Amino acid sequence: MADDFHYPTDSYILIGKIIVPHGLKGEIKIFSFAGQPENIQHYKNLVLVNSSGKLSQPYSVEKCRVKGKSAVVQLASITNRNEAEAITGLGVLIRKEDLPQPGEDEFYLSQLEGLAVVTVEGLSLGTVTNIMSNGAQDILVVQDKDEEYLIPILDSIIIQRDAEKVVIAPPPGLLEINSKNSSD
């Protein structure tokens, strides 16, 4: 779902998608990719993006409330259902500079993209190319030439992280699951 949108990843983070208009006064329902729709109420401005990468002007968030797994949002200048229908299906971005600073020992998943991944034994696995969710947890997608590893983002696996690398302690069998050299 997140791969449907192209945008400048150095400046923006994709936080969700507009899934449906809500009511007659221009409110929209936003599905939160982070699974925390309540966070949307803390952002002052949202930028919308279509599948070809065209960005909207920033819309200020006038109202926001949580409804189930979505946020119902009223954006400035979207005042009726027709205008809300016109933006349905668009991705929802925030500027990285508008993110609150993470607390100590906290980080944004997007900060892991591009980092090298090594095991505690020093085995280099490749680079984080993507982050995805399987519904139960977030997963690092690590690529190295023709190998791809899917590493669950769990405190028991991710031992250390800095500006250059992620150090993991994979449980037995995790790396072999994805190996092209393993037998079926």
**Does the pLDDT of residue 183 top 60, yes or no?**
no
Which tens digits make up the pLDDT trace of 140-153?
999 998 899 999 99
- Look at residue 78 in the predicted model and tell me its pLDDT: 97
Cα separation, 1 vs 32, in Å, equals: 11
Domains of the chain in sequence order: 2-97 (2.40.30.60), 109-177 (2.30.30.240)
Q: 111: which 2 tokens?
A: 């900060």
Helices (H), the chain: 81-87, 174-177
Cα separation, 5 vs 103, in Å, equals: 29
Which tens digits make up the pLDDT trace of 72-126?
999 999 999 999 999 999 999 999 888 888 888 777 788 888 999 999 999 999 9
The label of the residue with tokens 């009511």 reads 23
Which tens digits make up the pLDDT trace of 6-65?
899 889 999 999 999 999 999 999 998 877 889 898 899 999 999 999 999 999 999 999
Return the exposure string of 4-32: e unless at least 16 CB atoms fall within 10 Å of the residue's CB, then b. Answer: ebebeeeebbbbbbbeebbeeebbbbbbb
**Does the pLDDT of residue 162 top 60, yes or no?**
yes
Mean pLDDT rounded to a whole number for the chain: 89
- Look at residue 181 in the predicted model and tell me its pLDDT: 56
pTM (2 d.p.): 0.71
